[in-house]
Structures are given as C-alpha cells and as structure tokens.
Amino acid sequence: MAEAAVDSPMEVVQALADEAMPDEAGLGCLVSLPGELLEYILCSGPLTATDILHVASTCRRLRELCQSSGKVWKEQFRVRWPSLMNHYSPTDYINWLEEYKVRQKAGVEARKIVASFSKRFFSEHVPCNGFSDIETLEGPEIFFEDELVCILNMEGRKALTWKYYAKKILYYLRQQKILNNLKAFLQHSDDYESYLEGAVFIDQYCNPLAEITLKDTQAQFDSIVELVRKALRGLNSRHPSLTFRAGRSSMVRELDLQGQVLEAMNYVLYDQLKFKGNRMDYYNALNLYMHQVLTRRTGIPISMSVVYMTIARQLGVPLEPVNFPSHFLLRWCQSTDRANLDIFDYIYIDAFGKGRQLTVKECEYLIGQHVTPALYGVVNVKKVLQRMVGNLLSLGKREGIDQSYQLLRDSLDLYLAMYPDQVQLLLLQARLYFHLGIWPEKVLDILQHIQTLDPGQHGAVGYLVQHTLEHIERKKEEVGVEVKLRSHEKHRDVCYSIGLIMKHKRYGYNCVIYGWDPTCMMGHEWIRNMNVHSLPHGHHQPFYNVLVEDGSCRYAAQENLEYNVEPQEISHPDVGRYFSEFTGTHYIPNAELELRYPEDLESVYETVQNIYSAKKENAE
C-alpha cells in the first residue's frame, strides 16, 4: 500500500497563505488544527511580518496564536535579525511585535542618515558635530548599530559608499561607548585589580568593528586554565587549585604549591600552546591587543605579563605587575613576613621570556643597566594601562603608510581619557587634527584648554589658533562644486578617467583614479622635491589623484601611468568615499564624484570596451 504524501512545512505554509483568505470553509479547516501544529506552521515558513499581521486578522484563534509576546513574533524577529537575540534574556517578558517595530524603524532611520553622509561630507572629513543626528536617535542604540552591521555585511562589490559611511558611523558610536565605559572603569579604587578588563577596553577601542567582549576573552582564559589544571593534576593530584571555582577569588598560600602552579603554567603556555615573545615583529600594534595575543599566541612583555598574571591569579598565585623600565615584569613574593619586604624578597618573572624566573641582579642584566629599588615596585591597573597605551602611542607616531594616523588618534584618545590634562599630548592632538585638516572647531577647543592649563604655551597655541581660524574662513569662502568636463578645450590632453584601474610604470603599484588636473596643481616646493622637472613632459601634463593598494593617496603624472591589463580591486580605506561599485574591470563613481566629473563615466565605458573586451576576444 502506497504511503500517503506528507506535505513539507513549506507547502503547508503556502497552503496557509492561501487559506488565510475569506474562504470560511478553508479557514475553518485550518483553525481546527492543534495549536502547537499551527504555531509550528506559522514559525517554519517564509511568511513575512505583513503575512503574520494578515493571518492574525482572520479570526480570534489565529490572533491569539500570533500574540505580540508569543513564539510567532519571536521567530519573525529572530529570522530577520538573528544577531540581536544574544541581547535578550530567556526569562524576560518581551513584546516581540513591539521590538520588531522599533528595530524596523531604527533601520529606516539608520539608512537615511548613512545615505545623507556622502552628500554632506564628501569634500571633508566627517566633523565632530557630524554625528549629532545619530546621538539624538530614539530607540535602543544596539538596533541602530545592528543596521549598520547589516549594511557592512551586504554581499558583493556594490554599495561601497554606503559601507564606507556605515563603517565610519559604527566606528564612532562604538568608540564613544567604549570610552565612556573605560572612564567609568578608571573610577574604581586602586585595589580593583581587573587588569584583563582594562586591557580588553584598550583592545575594543582600537578595534571597534571587531566583536571583542570581556566575556569571550575570559572564556579563552578559562580554557587555558583548564589545560593548566590538567597538567597540574599530573604533578599533584591533591593540589588545592584543582578545586577552585571559576569567578571566585582564592589563594594558594604555600610557596611550593604556588611553584607547582607556575611549573604547570610554563609547560602549557610555552611548550604545549607555543606562546612566545614576538622578537621578530616587536613593534606591531597587534602585540598589544589581547584578542590578537591569544589568537596569535605572541606579544610583547606587558601583554604577555597580563596573560601570565591573569592565569596565575585564577589558580591562586598572587603575582603582581612591575613597571620595570624597557621590559615589563611580574613579581612573586617569597617571604611570609609581609610587613618588612624589600626587593630581594621577590622572584621576578619574565613572561616574555617563557616564564623565566629572575633575581634582582638578573633583572638588571636583562636591560643592561642598574635601576633604583623604586622601579621594582608594584603598579596599579591605571599604570599598567598607561604603559600599554604609551606603547601604542609610540607606534602611532611611527606610522608611515596609514595617512589617517588612526592608531595615533586612538592612542591619544585613550591616554587623554586617563590623563586629560597632559599638555604635550593635547598639543600633539591639536597639531595632528590641524595637519589632517579635520575638526577645526575641536582644534580650537583643545588649544583653549591648553592655554588654561599652561599659559606658557602661548607661542605654539597662538600659531595654531591663527592658522585654524584661517582654515575655517577659507572653508566659508568655498563656493559650489568644481565641475571638470573632458570636452573642454583645456582638458584635451587628459587621457584617463576616474574609476580606471591603473599601474605605475616606475614603481609598479596598482591604483584607481579618483580625480585629475590638466596640469600639476601642486606648489613649487612639492614639484622640486618630487623632481617633476626630470620628467620628459615636466609639470605641463595631466596629473591624477590615485588611491593606491598600499593604503596611500598619491598624485601621479600621466606619463607614469598605464592601464592595468589585469584589473583588480584596490584595497584602500577611502574607495567607498568616491565609488559606489566595482564591476570587475573598473569602479563606478558615486553621485558626488560623478557630479564633479560628469563626462568621465562614458569615457570609462569606451576604454573598458577597447582594452578589456579586445583582450578577452584575443584570448578566446
């Protein structure tokens, strides 16, 4: 006997959509089904929120099944915005229909703001007050952030301008929230010793688009602690650390038992997991980001010390941080008399050097100099974070390729959050913003603050105030948009168009054109320094603004550029500022760039047809 055909959930749902019409017989058949089956059907199919509203309006039974706090609307919310479900507690009462409406409204508002940014800020960096619209939005900020993430995760090579500004807005929102949390964290008393939490704040601030949480980071440490416990069990099956519960502060008092913990830690960290100090790439900011240290299993002395100390404390060994010059260390007390300790009552641990245990004399050998006893003292969380941020600040000053100086800007923000009256750093921040030509109003605010703190800085402050005010006045005098027509007589020598992927003949880099001038528009000093006069056509030839694959922006002479016969995407952070899409052969300008070069797109199509289509035909 043949089995009766069983409809798939999708077919049943389609039948439901058909039945949810004013056909009384069909509707009666439908509502006679058991409630759990009806709920399953409503949750399993491709029904939209609008469909659910229609279904709920057909009769009382279906309306009760589709109640605002029930499973049907919860499933609608989950399917539409799955990442948001982590923000709800299973035990809380949630009006899922209302949450759906609020989230949908937040998405509409987010897209309106993102769409407006290109037109408002195409010609300049987004100013400080450019984000004011976002700060006044109604509804949970997490909904707005989620919509920005959805924009960033849009597939393909389209919507590049939307992604560019969504990234900037999300970057700003998250950094503001993290900075506020860090400031609150710094208000704790000195005996609050969550070094890991502080390190995670630094990591989050410098990587706001990464999903970094203290909970996830702590989970990684818990996994390492379990491995250490397993190794410790082999050394001493009755060791007290084996019974310590996660999240509770416990201490092992006997030195020999503490030593067994450190022995097990060294085996797990350096032999089993292969953690090591990063001697080959020491001056890399990744060495200071906790999630990168755990993933790459390498770091510098201070980050390795935070890892080592966090694990040791979870297992009952009270190691302490030592702000030793040139090489951060930990100390391990060897005396039971806590009242009269000196520097010789400690063993010093070099987490960067595979947990090596050092005497005072060996510490001095390590850095090649004698130091005062005060430098062997323990430091609090704020001092540890100050040193971590200070390292990032030094790296930020060394930046070459990243012309936005993002690391320097982030580390200055962090340092000034801890020490807001550091005059020299405030002056550096004002000079940096002035150099980048961004946020002139904020520059003036910083300079006023410096003048209040230290009137002796009036020379440097006065110079920057004068030139910042001149910059503001020049911006006010700018009129309209400069439109460049290829058909104009003075542009007859311009051969290339915006959006084309080019190659530099001399230096070999790949780039995309985002602007051009009929002749070199730079000053005499730049022309002399770049040795432009040595070119066959000198400065009397078209020059092109290009975004280079290494992240830099350059101004290249026409005779130095050629078509890239194998065009590829240019990985530059500002591509989305100028272009909306990459087609595989060229970039399509966004509305603002096309407004400035209205005839270039047609020229690009002709070039692509002549260069790349001909190449394809020859290959075939």
All domains of the chain in start order, with CATH: 98-187 (no CATH), 195-386 (no CATH), 420-479 (no CATH), 489-613 (2.30.30.390)
Over residues 66-95, the mean pLDDT reads 92
Closest CA relative to residue 409, chosen from 283, 577, 285: 285
Q: Is the pLDDT reported for residue 3 higher than 50? A: no
Q: Is the pLDDT reported for residue 347 higher than 70? A: yes
Q: Is the pLDDT reported for residue 63 higher than 90? A: no
Q: Which of 398-402, 452-456, 616-620 has the lowest mean pLDDT?
A: 616-620
Q: What is the dihedral of CA 300, 306, 311, 317, to 10 degrees?
A: 120
- Looking at residue 314, what is its pLDDT? 93
Q: Which residue has the tokens 């440097």?
A: 460
The C-alpha atoms of residue 451 and residue 461 are separated, in whole angstroms, by: 7
The C-alpha atoms of residue 431 and residue 158 are separated, in whole angstroms, by: 36
- Looking at residue 618, what is its pLDDT? 56
Report residue 129's pLDDT band, with 50, 70 and 90 as the boundaries. low
Q: Which residue has the tokens 């502080």?
A: 198
- Residue type at position 458: H
Give 557's strand partners: 543
- Residue type at position 294: L
Q: Which residues lie closer than 8 Å to 331 by C-beta, 6 or more apart?
A: 319, 320, 322, 346, 347, 348, 349, 376, 378
Give 378's strand partners: 322
The C-alpha atoms of residue 595 and residue 118 are separated, in whole angstroms, by: 12
- Looking at residue 465, what is its pLDDT? 92
- Looking at residue 338, what is its pLDDT? 73
The C-alpha atoms of residue 454 and residue 91 are separated, in whole angstroms, by: 55
Residue 392: Cβ within 10 Å count: 24
Element containing residue 331 per DSSP (H, E): strand 329-333
CA atoms in the 13 A half-sphere facing the CB of 597: 25
Over residues 503-522, the mean pLDDT reads 96
Q: Which residue has the tokens 């390190």?
A: 199
The C-alpha atoms of residue 363 and residue 376 are separated, in whole angstroms, by: 10
Helical residues (DSSP H) of 208-331, grouped into ranges: 214-235, 255-266, 290-296, 301-314
φ and ψ of 437, to 5 deg? 70, 30
φ and ψ of 579, to 5 deg? -130, 145
Cβ pair 212, 291 in contact under 8 A: yes
- Looking at residue 403, what is its pLDDT? 59
- Is 64 in a helix, a strand, or coil? helix
Higher model confidence: residue 371 or residue 558? 558
Closest CA relative to residue 181, chosen from 224, 217, 213: 213
- Residue type at position 372: T
Closest CA relative to residue 146, chosen from 119, 118, 166: 166
Report residue 2's pLDDT band, with 50, 70 and 90 as the boundaries. very low
CA atoms in the 13 A half-sphere facing the CB of 531: 2
Cβ pair 191, 221 in contact under 8 A: no
Give the single-character DSSP code of 115.
Answer: H
Residue 533: Cβ within 10 Å count: 9
Report residue 341's pLDDT band, with 50, 70 and 90 as the boundaries. confident
Pairing of strands 561-563, 553-557: unpaired
Interval 390-400: pLDDT, tens? 999 999 988 65
- Looking at residue 193, what is its pLDDT? 73
The C-alpha atoms of residue 144 and residue 147 are separated, in whole angstroms, by: 5
- Looking at residue 127, what is its pLDDT? 63
The C-alpha atoms of residue 268 and residue 241 are separated, in whole angstroms, by: 16
Q: Is the pLDDT reported for residue 210 higher than 60? A: yes
Cβ pair 228, 268 in contact under 8 A: yes
Residues in the chain: 620
Interval 147-185: pLDDT, tens? 999 999 998 889 999 999 999 999 999 999 999 999 999
Q: What angle do CA 263, 267, 271 make, to 5 degrees?
A: 155
Report residue 22's pLDDT band, with 50, 70 and 90 as the boundaries. very low
Burial class (CB in 10 A: 0-12, 13-18, 19+), 170: buried
Pairing of strands 276-277, 298-299: parallel
Cβ pair 384, 306 in contact under 8 A: yes
Cβ pair 556, 543 in contact under 8 A: yes
Cα diameter, the chain:
100
Closest CA relative to residue 77, chosen from 61, 62, 88: 88
Q: Which of 243-247, 424-428, 487-491, 548-552 has the lowest mean pLDDT?
A: 243-247
Q: Which residue has the tokens 């280079």?
A: 548
Q: Is the pLDDT reported for residue 252 higher than 50? A: yes
Burial class (CB in 10 A: 0-12, 13-18, 19+), 194: middle
- Looking at residue 619, what is its pLDDT? 55
Residue 543: Cβ within 10 Å count: 23
